[in-house]
């Protein structure tokens, strides 16, 4: 006698990094066996998932189907990305047991939520990119946890159907209801800081403007109260506003990180991890739903590392892939996820481990060893190196002039970026001077004359500057030319680029 097999299918999304991948879940219920299995998953992961779903099912007072229940995916999400599939697995079982209606092709209802063992739908990281993917797949609607309604309520092109628990999700499938108006997310807070607030620090303010115009990375060296934090906090305010695509990426990363949605803000993000941060806190983790770390949370914005020399060396090295390749790769249990990390890196450090003004420092070799912690491949990507002066007495500080406002500086930065974009157009999307490939800088069209390069070649000849820094200095020179409104760098731009390079600030190049 042949056993009867009932099949149920549900549609969900697996978050692989920042990429939301549509997934179909198939549940087969065979009357001739027993057990609840997921043969495509590792045993430890299958056991954890099946026990959690079984508990949620029982606590929802739903009759478990008799016989064997087997779950299969058309795309195996592995460890990363499985968390948001739990509701879809439970719904597939319900459909196989005849407790929920099947989808009407070609427009299924997609669902993305984690199940609590009490049957509730929990707020699930990544709900926003998952719902957006559902809107592009032509789905009939998407079921999310009620706690995620505010995060996804402004997504258009698809019906958002919040549910509080598993029984509520099944009711949505039997008789779909129009989605209630989503709670209004808090508006993006207005910037509370402005460059105009800073007294003095003319060279540092100018360096900040150059970093913003060219997409360069920088380090500020000086006493703890010299103003490095104050400067770094104002960098997002002079960067160009985010495009809609960039703003969506920032919102998706915030959703994956479990941070509240603050509306479609166009201000670049700002991430400032403490120097005691672990590698996982910086890079992120590849868990049931990938969690971006401090580096990826600075994507399209600013990553500020205060007291950079106090970071563990292995933690500091995790920033290198971000500045070199603009992304991070995280591998765990055979899964590899890619997280975006295109950012402005700003580091700050004292000149010695004792945190006193430079004028009082007599550390000698200890100071050199302290700064040597920053030497390495990461520093090769830091184009702007500025020594901050010691803070003057209060009466002298009050007499120093204020610079331009953030709005005025941002206008100059946007104009310089526009000039660079027109020059490098056709060679890369949103290409800044920091991203210009070496082959392009050395091409006949953009190669500088021997007269213009003379200050740099003289330093190469006497070996006071390593030749490998030529590209770094040329990128800086092009940014200085863009800010001055000239078509090509001149001798003064090349000389200023070497000054901004600040090799002596770190005791010479590595």
pLDDT at 397 over 50: yes
Band of the pLDDT at 306, cuts 50, 70, 90?
A: very high
Based on the fold, state whether residues 224 and 79 are members of the same structural domain: no
Band of the pLDDT at 300, cuts 50, 70, 90?
A: very high
Based on the fold, state whether residues 378 and 456 are members of the same structural domain: yes
Residue 27: predicted pLDDT: 92
Based on the fold, state whether residues 166 and 202 are members of the same structural domain: no
Residue 380 lies in a domain: yes
| Average pLDDT value for the chain | 83
Domain that holds residue 438: 195-506
Residue 170: predicted pLDDT: 92
> Could you tell me the two tokens for 303?
């990553």
Residue 248: predicted pLDDT: 87
pLDDT at 296 over 60: yes
Identify whether the C-beta of residue 329 lies closer than 8 Å to the C-beta of residue 336.
yes
Residue 50 lies in a domain: yes
| 10-66 pLDDT per residue, tens | 999 888 877 888 889 999 988 777 789 888 888 888 888 899 999 999 999 999 888
Average pLDDT over residues 69-92: 81
Residue 415: predicted pLDDT: 94
> Of all residues in the chain, what percent carry a pLDDT higher than 90?
29
Based on the fold, state whether residues 121 and 242 are members of the same structural domain: no
Q: Which residues of 256-270 are buried (b: 16+ CB within 10 A; e: fewer)?
A: bbeeebeeebebbbb
> Closest Cα partner for 37 from 70, 10, 66?
70
pLDDT at 508 over 50: no
Residue 423: C-alpha distances to residues 242, 441, 490 (Å): 21, 11, 17
* 3-state helix/strand/coil string of 226-285: CCHHHHHHHCHHHCCCCCHHHHHHHHHHHHHCCCCCCCCCCCCCEECCCCCCCHHHHHEE
pLDDT at 245 over 70: yes
- β-strands 121-122, 141-145: how paired? unpaired
For residues 265 and 288, what is the distance between their CA atoms, to the nearest angstrom? 28
Residue 77: predicted pLDDT: 55
Residue 200: predicted pLDDT: 82
pLDDT at 504 over 50: no
Number of compact structural domains in the chain: 2
Based on the fold, state whether residues 12 and 57 are members of the same structural domain: yes
Band of the pLDDT at 285, cuts 50, 70, 90?
A: confident
Band of the pLDDT at 287, cuts 50, 70, 90?
A: low
CATH for 60: 3.30.230.10
Residue 105 lies in a domain: yes
Residue 189 lies in a domain: no
Based on the fold, state whether residues 319 and 404 are members of the same structural domain: yes
Band of the pLDDT at 510, cuts 50, 70, 90?
A: very low
CATH for 486: 3.40.50.300
| 247-266 pLDDT per residue, tens | 888 988 988 888 877 766 78
Task: Identify the DSSP state of 312.
Answer: -
Contacts of 178 (CB under 8 A, 6+ apart): 159
Based on the fold, state whether residues 163 and 243 are members of the same structural domain: no
Band of the pLDDT at 181, cuts 50, 70, 90?
A: low
């Amino acid at each position: 006698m042949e056993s009867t097999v009932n099949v149920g299918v549900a549609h969900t999304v697996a978050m692989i990094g920042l990429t939301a991948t549509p997934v179909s879940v198939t549940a087969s219920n065979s009357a001739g066996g027993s057990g609840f299995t997921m043969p495509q998953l590792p045993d430890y992961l299958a056991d954890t998932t099946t026990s959690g779903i079984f508990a949620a099912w029982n606590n929802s007072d739903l009759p478990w189907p008799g016989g064997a229940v087997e779950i299969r995916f058309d795309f195996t999400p592995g460890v990363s990305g499985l968390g948001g599939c739990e509701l879809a697995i439970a719904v597939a079982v319900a459909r196989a047991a005849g407790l929920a209606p099947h989808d009407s092709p070609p427009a299924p209802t997609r669902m993305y939520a984690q199940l609590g063992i009490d049957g509730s739908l929990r707020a699930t990281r990544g709900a926003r990119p998952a719902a957006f993917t559902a809107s592009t797949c032509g789905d009939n609607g998407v079921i999310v946890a009620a706690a995620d309604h505010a995060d996804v309520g402004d997504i258009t092109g698809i019906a958002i159907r919040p549910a509080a628990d598993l029984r509520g999700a099944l009711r949505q499938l039997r008789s779909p209801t129009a989605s209630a108006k989503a709670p209004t997310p808090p508006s993006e807070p207005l910037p509370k800081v402005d460059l105009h607030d800073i007294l003095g620090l003319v060279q540092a303010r100018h360096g900040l403007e150059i970093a913003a115009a060219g997409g360069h990375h920088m380090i500020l060296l000086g006493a703890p109260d010299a103003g490095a934090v104050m400067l770094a906090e104002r960098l997002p305010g002079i960067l160009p506003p985010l495009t809609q695509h960039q703003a969506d990426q920032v919102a998706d990363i915030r959703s994956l990180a479990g941070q509240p949605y603050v509306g479609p803000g166009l201000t670049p993000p700002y991430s400032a991890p403490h120097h005691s941060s672990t590698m996982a806190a910086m890079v992120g983790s590849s868990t049931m739903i990938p969690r971006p770390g401090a580096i990826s949370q600075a994507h399209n914005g600013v990553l500020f590392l205060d007291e950079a020399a106090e970071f563990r060396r292995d933690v500091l090295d995790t920033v290198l892939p971000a500045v070199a390749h603009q992304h991070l790769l995280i591998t765990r249990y055979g899964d590899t996820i890619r997280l975006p990390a295109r950012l402005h890196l700003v580091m700050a450090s004292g000149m010695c481990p004792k945190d006193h003004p430079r004028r009082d420092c007599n550390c000698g070799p200890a100071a050199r060893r302290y700064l040597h912690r920053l030497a390495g491949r990461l520093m090769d990507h830091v184009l702007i190196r500025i020594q901050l002066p010691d803070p003057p007495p209060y009466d002298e500080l009050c007499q120093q002039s204020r610079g331009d406002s953030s709005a005025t500086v941002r206008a100059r930065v946007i104009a310089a970026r526009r000039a660079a974009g027109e020059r490098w157009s056709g060679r890369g999307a949103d290409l800044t001077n920091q991203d210009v490939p070496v082959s392009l800088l050395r091409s006949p069209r953009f190669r500088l004359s021997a007269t213009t390069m003379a200050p740099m070649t003289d330093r190469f000849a006497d070996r006071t500057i390593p030749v490998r820094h030529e590209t770094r200095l040329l990128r800086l020179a092009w940014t200085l030319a863009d800010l001055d409104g000239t078509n090509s760098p001149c001798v003064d731009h090349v000389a200023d680029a070497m000054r901004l390079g600040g090799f002596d600030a770190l005791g010479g190049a590595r």
